[in-house]
């Protein structure tokens, strides 16, 4: 059953957020305040505020990237849920160069949502985390022709019409993909560029926790299923969570400074991002594109593929470097990197 109602839960939360000032003044945060805080100004693509969406609700397709229980509890009215497990499919490239997005499977998953290639899309989650951005990446990888946006601030900032309970199932469509392989790279491409990253070749960003990047002995950040630890030679570490402040995109000017001055990237040159898998790094993939990087590519195989290659000479890892850009980002809600495929 679907119920139309106002954001009672949000109003209750807002009422509880009253803060007593030291001089006895009272500050009250209203749903409108939360919504306004999601507005994005300046030359930033993808991210839109709640007001922007409210004005267009009904004319754009809204995709909910959260876990099912949150979707059922409450969602933006008319939203369709994107199960994460359906949009991470990858396959060995035909020429044996490594794992790449399985565009046929991904297209089928998007088609199951009743999304056609020319629809304008808004994706939201609990935050602007990796579940959301993986959805955005997949749409681009499939050559989606409509505009794709991300709701800044996530669901908690939404103060418009909501739905709850089981959603009606959209009528599936045949999504005819037009894959864009220039948006990703494979293992062999990276191996051919070893030694050039962040030097005279492409930029390369490792989005994982710094402990994983430096292969800190005994750290929980080291994945047991990885035969080796460390990072791709030349990669600079910028943890993806630093792109997020609470539930919103971090300050774009600070992000630009971080990725250019601190990490040494050049916005008009190719940049590759990777993580352990193909979900978390899409947050940086979207963020970089949002702040003006022209050519951002995802290594869909991730460090998990690289580290388990037998040909260690062709796929080396480094441990003895500390090119870590410190970030102090935090992520609210339930969209953290510790996602589950449901």
Partner 1 sequence: MCCQGDGVVSVHDFETGNPIGKIPVGGHPVHAHAIDGRIFVATMDERTLSVIEPNGDVERFRVGVLGPSHFASAAGTLFVTCTAGDVVAAIDPFEPRLLARIGVGAEPHELVAHNNRVFVGSRRDGVVSVIDATTLERCGDVEVGADARIEGVGIDHTGTRGFAVDRRGERLVGFAPTDLTVTGTVPIGSDAYDLTVADDVVYVPAQGSGTVHVVELDLDDQRVHPGFERPVEVHEWDETAWVVDRGRARLESLTGRSVEIPAGAIHAQPTDHGFVLAHYDDAAVSFVHPTTGTVWTAETGAYPLGILLV
* Largest Cα–Cα separation, the chain: 69
**Using rule CB under 8 A, residue 167 touches partner 1:** no
Angle of helix 130-141 relative to helix 103-112, nearest 10 degrees, comes to 110
Rounded to the nearest angstrom, the gap between the alpha carbon of residue 176 and the centroid of all alpha carbons in its chain is 24
User: For partner 1, which stretch binds (CB under 8 A), given 165-173, 175-183, 292-300, 314-322?
Assistant: 314-322
Determine the Cα–Cα distance for residues 209 and 264; give it in Å rounded to an integer. 19
* CA–CA dist 275, 307 (Å, integer): 12
Task: Choose one: 82-90, 116-124, 132-140, 309-317; the region binding partner 1 (CB under 8 A).
Answer: 309-317
DSSP state of 253: H
Binding letters toward partner 1, positions 215-254, x by CB under 8 A: x------------x-x--xx--------------------
**CB nearer partner 1, residue 177 or residue 234:** 234
* Sequence-distant (≥ 6) Cβ neighbours of residue 55 within 8 angstroms: none
Pick the closer one to partner 1 by CB: 9 or 188: 188
Nearer to partner 1, 148 or 215 (CB): 215
Is the Cβ of residue 316 or residue 336 nearer to partner 1 in the bound state? 316
Classified as helix, coil or strand, 276 is: coil
Print the binding letters for residues 191-210 with partner 1: x by CB under 8 A, - otherwise.
---xxx--x-----------
Q: Does 257 bind partner 1 (CB under 8 A)?
A: no
Q: Are 19 and 10 in contact (CB under 8 A)?
A: no
Binder of partner 1 out of 161, 319, 329, 334 (CB under 8 A): 319
Q: Which residue has the tokens 């490239």?
A: 93
CB of 289 to partner 1, least distance (A): 28
Q: Please state, in angstroms and rounded to a whole number, the distance separating the CA atoms of residues 119 and 152.
A: 20
Bridge partners of residue 13, in order along the sequence: none
Which one among 143, 160, 179, 316 touches partner 1, defined by CB under 8 A? 316
The reply to whether 321 sits near partner 1 by the rule CB under 8 A is yes
C-beta closer to partner 1: residue 100 or 212: 212
Helices and strands counted in the chain (H then E) = 11, 20
Binding site residues, partner 1, CB under 8 A: 194-196, 199, 215, 228, 230, 233-234, 311-314, 316-321
């Amino acid at each position: 059953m679907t119920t139309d109602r106002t954001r009672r839960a949000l109003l209750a939360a807002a009422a509880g957020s009253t803060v007593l000032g030291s001089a006895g003044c009272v500050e009250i945060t209203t749903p409108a305040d939360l919504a306004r805080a999601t507005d994005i100004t300046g030359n930033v693509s993808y991210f839109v505020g709640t007001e922007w969406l409210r004005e267009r609700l009904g004319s754009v397709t809204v995709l909910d990237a959260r876990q099912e229980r949150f979707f059922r509890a409450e969602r933006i009215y008319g939203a369709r849920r994107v199960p994460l497990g359906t949009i991470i499919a990858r396959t060995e490239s035909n020429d044996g160069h490594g794992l790449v997005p399985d565009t046929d499977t991904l297209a089928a998953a998007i088609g199951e949502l009743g999304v056609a290639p020319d629809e304008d899309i808004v994706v939201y989650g609990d935050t602007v985390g990796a579940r959301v951005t993986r959805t955005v990446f997949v749409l681009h990888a499939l050559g989606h022709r409509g505009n794709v946006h991300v709701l800044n601030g996530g669901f908690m900032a939404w103060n418009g019409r909501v739905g709850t309970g089981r959603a009606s199932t959209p009528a599936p469509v045949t999504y005819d993909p037009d894959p864009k392989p220039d948006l990703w790279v494979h293992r062999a491409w990276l191996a051919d560029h070893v030694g050039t990253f962040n030097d005279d070749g492409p930029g390369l960003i490792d989005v994982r926790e710094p402990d994983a990047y430096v292969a800190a002995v005994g750290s929980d950040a080291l994945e047991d299923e990885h035969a080796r630890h460390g990072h791709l030679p030349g990669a600079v570490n910028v943890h993806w969570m630093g792109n997020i402040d609470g539930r919103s995109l971090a300050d774009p000017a600070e992000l630009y400074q971080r990725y250019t001055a601190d990490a040494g990237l050049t916005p008009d040159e190719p940049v590759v991002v990777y993580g352990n898998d193909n979900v978390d790094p899409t947050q940086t993939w979207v963020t970089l594109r949002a702040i003006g990087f022209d050519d951002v590519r995802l290594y869909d195989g991730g460090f998990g593929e690289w580290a388990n290659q037998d040909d260690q000479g062709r796929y080396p890892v480094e441990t003895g470097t500390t090119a870590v850009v410190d970030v102090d980002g935090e992520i609210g809600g339930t969209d953290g990197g510790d996602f589950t495929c449901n």
